[in-house]
Amino acid sequence: MATRGTPYLDELNPAQRAAVLALDGPVLMLAGAGTGKTKALTARIVHLLNQHKARPNEILAVTFTNKAAREMKDRVGRLLGEVAEGMPWMGTFHSLSVKILRRHAELVGLKPNFTILDTDDQLRLLKQLILAANIDEKRWPARLLASLIDGWKNRAWTPEKVPSSEAGAYNNRGTELYAAYQDRLKTLNATDFGDLLLHCVTIFQTHPDVLEQYQRWFRYILVDEYQDTNVCQYLWLRLLAQSHRNICCVGDDDQSIYGWRGAEVGNILRFEKDFPGAQVIRLEQNYRSTGHILAAASGIIARNAGRLGKTLWTAGALGEKVRLIGHWDGEEEARWIGEEIEAIQRGTRGMDPVDLNHQAILVRASHQMRAFEDRFLTIGLPYRVIGGPRFYERQEIRDAMAYFRLAVSPDDDLAFERVVNLPKRGLGDTAQAKINVLARAAGVSLLDGAREALAKGVIPGKGAAQLRAFVEGVDRWHAVTLHPEYDHIRLAETILEESGYTEMWLNDKTPEAPGRLDNLKELVKALEQFDNLQGFLEHVSLIMDNETEGAEEKVTIMTLHAAKGLEFPVVFLPGWEDGLFPSQRSMDESGLKGLEEERRLAYVGITRAERLATISFASNRRVYGQWQSQLPSRFIDELPAEHVEVLTAPGLYGGGFGAAASVGFGSGLEERVSKADVYNSPGWRRLQENSGTRPMRQPQETRHVVIDMEASSPYVIGDRVFHQKFGYGEIMGIEGDKLDVEFDHAGSKKVVARWVIPADRV
């Protein structure tokens, strides 16, 4: 068979080319941000096909997000051009696992049409189990159990495999509840996210014939963002690759940012052990960012200990320095960034115009997004939000989807519970309990339980008629889904109408109602891209982003975590404040390890920028309704000064971009931006001078002044509080913003006031 030309190789440098040409055997590509790892990986897929080493469906490519998978599909499609004869298996660990699991569900006691629970459903289920086990959920929150179970699943521990060292977890009941939870999931014919992978691993481990089939099938395996795989994912890969060893992993230890979700950088080191003789390829030339940006990012990451160590250089120009600016509060930061984005779009910032699609705001925490959404809505700046509080997590969307789920799988009990009395159908707790009891006794679904309750006449009053209408509705909708080519959009509209759900919001007079109706319309619109409801539901349960691409240019707002692997010419990095970034929580929970992971996140953030990166911080920020004073992030101290330009305060204070001034940094290489530099910068001084006279926006709520660590806490001794990690406790002493808390189970600890919440608010 003749091979076609290889124009894609011409676009690569020698090291990348080596990685592409080494088609057989294990390959590890270890390199810094923007060095073309993903580009080389994509070229490798094309080369495999081009050289007839594999047919498309014999290639398995794992990406970290669905967005990345889509991008890779696009790239491969483009590179392959007209020769594409089917596409390789490309997707995230989760989406690939679902495909596999659907084919072998019965091997782990499930039916092929199993449901995938989201976090909400998962928590609801856990709460029921906790209640049934007579445990006080107030003291032992379901969330705690959920994260415990997730952690075990990430380590590939089924209930039987949880080691005895974990026996004390969740008041000694963790393993027992884990087992009960797995049983319950099986009864419900459901899985959670972690199960998707864990079940696959279990099947591979217990059914060598099935494993062999996939090993033969996936003759070439490629993995992007390898540094963020957890143990379970690692096993999944190793099992699939161990016979042919044609596995190519690319990663960057400096970009490992999912340790909190069980990712293990150690997997990189393990690779060479498990696949002896692996070719290790290093790439050093960065093609993405200009010199100042790269140097600023490198300066920060250099502070981390225990790095594998890499050289990075760019042949590109130095470009613009990384810009740094302080603001009075989060709203003003949003206002300033909005103006900057528009100015950059118009080309009035000394650069060529950059359209909105090529500008992004990367936040540390999703609660930061709101300020930007609000501001951009006000000024009519189009934006898209990726990650964070997602479209599909909104209440009305989840309600509507529960209806869809019920139509597709009438025995989806969790969906039934969610909507049986929504809108109100006169079915209170007692009526629902009766249905539950009947269903359990007969070992049937809640829907069938409801039928039985109706037949027995145990539902009193108007509820009976309404329940009957509901059951008949579900039956009708389900019957439609059984037609091979039903009109799913029409069906979705019918369901929302006949169920009374749309009407419920039409009659709702709260200010949110119109937005919810819009979202429902948006939901129906989203269905257009799918062949049927089943496909859509599957998609939704897997997506990590809510991007609906239109023609309109939009600024992207997303979390730093979700931005991994992506690039934008212009990047804004707001909220660089100690406690927010680095996040207090990750430092509290994981100490130095947590801080280093945050620092890697800073590195990921800066290295997303191609031409302009702007870091900002605010001295006041409202977090979950409470004003807090903030100190600039310690990562700001770590920026190499000669690559940074400190801007003056924005127009509000009479400054403005034209007055941008570089503070007098020396040019020594060791020079760093220090907080003193920031405070002495003209902009910051002005900020402080003005802050004395300017009325604060929320004076009665403002607890802190600009820079004041000693501000008083809102608590008094004896208050009960809740801390994410340590649980409930009582305040024994207060010292500035630090609290001495006697935790019910964790003992006495000193914690920062803003990381606890009043116990009655949990």
Query: In the complex, which residues of this chain contact ligand ATP (CB under 6 A)?
Result: 11-13, 16, 31, 33-39, 252, 255, 287-288, 565, 567
Residue 248 CB, nearest approach to ligand ATP (Å): 13
Q: What is the DSSP letter of 616?
A: E
With CB under 5 to 8 Å by kind, the binding choice for 26 among Mg ion, ligand ATP, none is: none
With CB under 5 to 8 Å by kind, the binding choice for 33 among Mg ion, ligand ATP, none is: ligand ATP
- Return the number of the residue (146 or 566) whose C-beta is nearest ligand ATP: 566
Residue 428 annotated as binding?
no
With CB under 5 to 8 Å by kind, the binding choice for 215 among ligand ATP, Mg ion, none is: none
Residue 291 annotated as binding?
no
Residue 283 CB, nearest approach to ligand ATP (Å): 7
Residue 32 CB, nearest approach to Mg ion (Å): 11
Handedness of CA 141, 146, 148, 149 (dihedral sign): positive
Chain position whose Cβ is nearest to ligand ATP: 36
Question: Concatenated DSSP letters for 51-80?
Answer: TTSS-GGGEEEEESSHHHHHHHHHHHHHHH
With CB under 5 to 8 Å by kind, the binding choice for 35 among Mg ion, ligand ATP, none is: ligand ATP
With CB under 5 to 8 Å by kind, the binding choice for 583 among ligand ATP, Mg ion, none is: none
- Return the number of the residue (36 or 650) whose C-beta is nearest ligand ATP: 36
Angle at 259 between CA 255 and CA 264, to 5 degrees: 85
Options 54-62, 380-388, 557-565, 714-722: segment touching Mg ion (CB under 5 A)? 557-565
- Return the number of the residue (37 or 405) whose C-beta is nearest Mg ion: 37
Residue 86 annotated as binding?
no
β-pair type (720-723, 727-735): antiparallel
Q: Which helix H or strand E contains 115, and what residues bound it?
A: strand 115-116
Q: Work out whether 319 is an interface residue with Mg ion (CB under 5 A).
A: no
Cα 298 from Cα 314, distance rounded (Å): 12
Options 82-90, 174-182, 561-569, 692-700: segment touching Mg ion (CB under 5 A)? 561-569
Residue 34 annotated as binding?
yes
Query: Which amino acid type is present at position 666?
Result: G
Cα 146 from Cα 148, distance rounded (Å): 5
Q: Work out whether 38 is an interface residue with Mg ion (CB under 5 A).
A: yes
Residue that is written with structure tokens 């040409």 in the block:
21
**Residues ≥6 apart with Cβ < 8 Å to 642:** 665, 667, 669, 671
Residue 749 annotated as binding?
no
Residue 262 CB, nearest approach to Mg ion (Å): 21
β-pair type (279-283, 115-116): unpaired
**Residues ≥6 apart with Cβ < 8 Å to 501:** 399, 400, 403, 419, 422, 423, 495
**Residues ≥6 apart with Cβ < 8 Å to 222:** 41, 44, 45, 59, 60, 61, 62, 247, 248, 249, 250
- Return the number of the residue (466 or 559) whose C-beta is nearest Mg ion: 559
Residue 30 CB, nearest approach to ligand ATP (Å): 10
Options 94-102, 374-382, 564-572, 621-629: segment touching Mg ion (CB under 5 A)? 564-572
The structure tokens listed for 354 are 């950059």
Residue 31 annotated as binding?
yes
- Return the number of the residue (284 or 522) whose C-beta is nearest ligand ATP: 284
* C-beta contacts of 213-216 below 8 A and 24+ residues apart: 214/100, 214/240, 215/240, 215/241, 215/242, 215/243, 215/244
Q: Which residues are catalytic?
A: 37-38, 224-225, 255, 608
Q: Work out whether 251 is an interface residue with Mg ion (CB under 5 A).
A: no
The structure tokens listed for 219 are 């003759």
Residue 117 CB, nearest approach to ligand ATP (Å): 31
How many residues bind to Mg ion according to rule CB under 5 A? 3
Residue that is written with structure tokens 């161990």 in the block:
242
- Return the number of the residue (72 or 663) whose C-beta is nearest ligand ATP: 72
Angle at 33 between CA 28 and CA 38, to 5 degrees: 55
Residue 54 annotated as binding?
no
- Return the number of the residue (19 or 439) whose C-beta is nearest ligand ATP: 19
Residue 36 annotated as binding?
yes
Strand order from edge to edge, sheet including 720-723: 747-752, 738-743, 727-735, 720-723, 756-758
Q: Work out whether 655 is an interface residue with Mg ion (CB under 5 A).
A: no
Residue 320 CB, nearest approach to Mg ion (Å): 23
Q: Work out whether 565 is an interface residue with Mg ion (CB under 5 A).
A: yes
Residues of each annotated binding site: 31-38
Residues of this chain that bind Mg ion (CB under 5 A)? 37-38, 565
Residues of each annotated binding site for ATP: 31-38
